[in-house]
């Protein structure tokens, strides 16, 4: 079922599909070109004025690129590692080593799954404690061999099930936060879809934090926020507006370093274009960070996160 922001585009898309399916006839190609231009223009108009809730729906689009798509597009010779050496493997987090522009790096990211079978296997991209412990194991290996860490964040949140709680979900996330803060290699974080709460933060303490234009990043989902505040999850659009979860909002607060523009219609309409844009950003950041000593990296990362949430003098004056 199409989302509300897609409704103005459906009629044009149907017209294009009808023409493509017809036998070649005089004037059809010209009409196709006209309709495609009109669709591109309409997409730009629609996506330039999305509400925070609509951006949330775009961030959740099932055709949006996931971690394995970024790995296939940006890296070579990826070797996935499994298991946390304590309990089990967690398919919700993909972790391993690869080459990025002929440089060895560690790659970690959430994987949601496309069809029903994959979604169940990947637990809808919601990691359990063993997933976060696996991610940290790979980060520690990366530190040992002086390899930068590149992460891709796209999760509704950490899995809240009883089994995850029994195995120490909160402790696993907290431990990752502490250890990432002092990791002595460059860390580049990319929020590509949903950045949900601690489930995202556990692989998102980085030297540079990038966020795709239509991604969202928040302490809780809009539905969860609405259910807590108003006992009505249907008020999620209102919650999304109040929570300031979009890339532009977070960049204005200094929480995100780079907002990566997406193609008209979102990342799913032209993944190759998005991959090129993100590739350019990551490449420049790794070159910059690689020039710093391990001690300078850790010190700058500490200062970066200490500045987040700082209250200005004007607010303190009001409180006094």
CATH number for the domain that contains residue 261? 3.90.226.10
- Domain span at 16: 4-49
Low-confidence ranges of the chain (pLDDT < 70): 1-4, 22-28, 310-320
Q: For the purposes of burial, counting CB atoms within 10 Å of the CB of 116, is it exposed (0-12), middle (13-18) or buried (19 or more)?
A: exposed
Looking at the structure of the chain, the number of domains it has is 2
pLDDT at 296: 97
pLDDT at 308: 87
Task: State whether 188 and 256 are in the same domain.
Answer: yes
Integer Cα distance of 231 and 216 in angstroms: 22
On whether residue 167 sits in a domain, the answer given is: yes
pLDDT at 3: 60
pLDDT at 174: 97
The terminus-to-terminus CA distance of the chain in angstroms comes to: 52
On whether residue 318 sits in a domain, the answer given is: no
CB-CB neighbours of 98 under 10 Å: 19
Q: For the purposes of burial, counting CB atoms within 10 Å of the CB of 120, is it exposed (0-12), middle (13-18) or buried (19 or more)?
A: exposed
Task: State whether 225 and 156 are in the same domain.
Answer: yes
Bridge partners, 217 (sequence order): 195
Task: State whether 90 and 21 are in the same domain.
Answer: no
pLDDT at 6: 72
Task: State whether 12 and 134 are in the same domain.
Answer: no
Task: State whether 37 and 106 are in the same domain.
Answer: no
Task: State whether 45 and 122 are in the same domain.
Answer: no
pLDDT at 24: 66
Give residues with Cβ within 8 angstroms of 273, minimum separation 6.
Answer: 263
Task: State whether 173 and 227 are in the same domain.
Answer: yes
pLDDT at 309: 74
pLDDT at 234: 92
User: How many Å is the maximal CA-CA distance in the chain?
Assistant: 76
On whether residue 139 sits in a domain, the answer given is: yes
Bridge partners, 190 (sequence order): 152, 210
Task: State whether 132 and 205 are in the same domain.
Answer: yes
pLDDT at 26: 66
**12 token code pair:** 């044009």
Task: State whether 240 and 287 are in the same domain.
Answer: yes
Task: State whether 150 and 45 are in the same domain.
Answer: no
Task: State whether 298 and 153 are in the same domain.
Answer: yes
């Amino acid at each position: 079922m199409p989302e509300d922001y897609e409704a103005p585009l459906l009629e044009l898309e149907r017209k294009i599909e009808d023409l493509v399916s017809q036998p070649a006839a005089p004037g059809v190609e010209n009409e196709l070109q006209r309709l495609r231009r009109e669709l591109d223009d309409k997409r730009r108009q629609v996506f330039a004025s999305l509400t925070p809730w609509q951006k949330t729906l775009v961030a959740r689009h099932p055709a949006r690129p996931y971690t394995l798509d970024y790995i296939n597009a940006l890296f070579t010779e990826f070797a996935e590692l499994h298991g946390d050496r304590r309990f089990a493997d967690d398919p919700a987090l993909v972790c391993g080593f690869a080459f990025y522009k002929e440089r060895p790096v560690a790659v970690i990211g959430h994987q949601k799954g496309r069809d029903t079978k994959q979604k169940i296997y990947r637990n809808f991209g919601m990691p359990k404690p063993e997933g976060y412990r696996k991610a940290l194991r790979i980060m520690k290996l990366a530190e040992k061999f002086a390899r930068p860490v590149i992460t891709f964040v796209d999760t509704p949140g950490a899995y809240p099930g009883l089994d995850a709680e029994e195995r120490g979900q909160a402790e696993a996330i907290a431990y990752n936060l502490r250890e990432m803060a002092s990791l002595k290699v460059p860390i580049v974080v990319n929020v590509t879809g949903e950045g949900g709460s601690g489930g995202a933060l556990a692989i998102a303490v980085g030297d540079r934090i990038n966020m795709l234009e239509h991604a969202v990043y928040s302490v809780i989902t809009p539905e969860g926020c609405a259910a807590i505040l108003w006992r009505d999850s249907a008020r999620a659009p209102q919650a999304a507006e109040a929570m300031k979860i979009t890339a532009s909002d977070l960049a204005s607060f200094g929480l995100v370093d780079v907002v990566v523009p997406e193609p008209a219609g979102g990342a799913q309409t032209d993944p190759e274009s998005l991959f090129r844009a993100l590739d350019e950003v990551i490449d420049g950041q790794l070159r910059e960070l690689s020039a710093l000593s391990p001690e300078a990296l850790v010190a700058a990362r500490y200062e970066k996160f200490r500045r987040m949430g700082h209250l200005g003098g004007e607010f303190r004056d009001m409180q006094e």
